[in-house]
Amino acid sequence: MRASLILFIWIGLLQGVPAMAEIRTKNVEYRDGDLVLEGFVAWDSERAEQKSPGILVVHQWMGLTDYERQRCKQLAQLGYVAFALDIYGKGVRPENAQAAGKQAGVYKSDRALYRRRLNQGLKELRLQDGVDQKQVAAIGYCFGGTGVLELARSGADVHGVVSFHGGLDSPSPADGENIQAKVLICHGADDPFVPAKDIEAMKAEFNQAGVDWQMIYYSDAVHSFTQSMAGNDKSRGAAYNERADKRSWLAMKSFFDELFGSDNND
Residue-wise pLDDT for 51-102, tens only, equals: 999 999 999 999 999 999 999 999 999 999 999 999 999 999 999 999 999 9
Question: Taking 70 as the threshold, does the pLDDT of residue 18 lie above it?
Answer: no
How many Å apart are CA 82 and CA 72, to the nearest integer? 5
Q: What is the CATH number of the domain that holds 121?
A: 3.40.50.1820
**pTM, two decimal places:** 0.90
Q: Has residue 124 been placed in a domain?
A: yes
What pLDDT score was predicted for residue 50?
Answer: 86
Q: Has residue 194 been placed in a domain?
A: yes
Q: Has residue 80 been placed in a domain?
A: yes
**Which residues span the domain enclosing 240?**
23-260
* Overall number of domains in the chain: 1
What's the whole-number mean pLDDT along residues 218-247? 97
Q: Has residue 204 been placed in a domain?
A: yes
Q: Which amino acid is at 245?
A: D
Q: Has residue 14 been placed in a domain?
A: no
DSSP character string of 107-144: HHS-HHHHHHHHHHHHHHHHHSTTEEEEEEEEEEETHH
Q: Has residue 125 been placed in a domain?
A: yes
How many Å apart are CA 124 and CA 120, to the nearest integer? 6
Q: Has residue 57 been placed in a domain?
A: yes
CB count within 10 Å of CB 212 equals 12
Sign of the alpha-carbon dihedral angle for 160, 165, 169, 172 = negative
Please state the φ and ψ torsions of residue 9, each to the nearest 5 degrees. Answer: -65, -40
Q: What is the DSSP letter of 55?
A: E
Q: What percent of the chain has pLDDT over 90?
A: 88
How many Å apart are CA 222 and CA 97, to the nearest integer? 17
| 3-state percent helix, strand, coil for the chain, nearest multiple of 5 | 45, 25, 35
Q: Has residue 129 been placed in a domain?
A: yes
Nearest to 147 by CA among 164, 125, 134, 132: 164
CB count within 10 Å of CB 225 equals 29
How many Å apart are CA 169 and CA 146, to the nearest integer? 8
What's the whole-number mean pLDDT along residues 136-159? 98
Torsion of CA 110, 111, 114, 120, to 10 degrees: -130
How many Å apart are CA 115 and CA 6, to the nearest integer? 62
Q: What is the CA radius of gyration of the chain?
A: 20
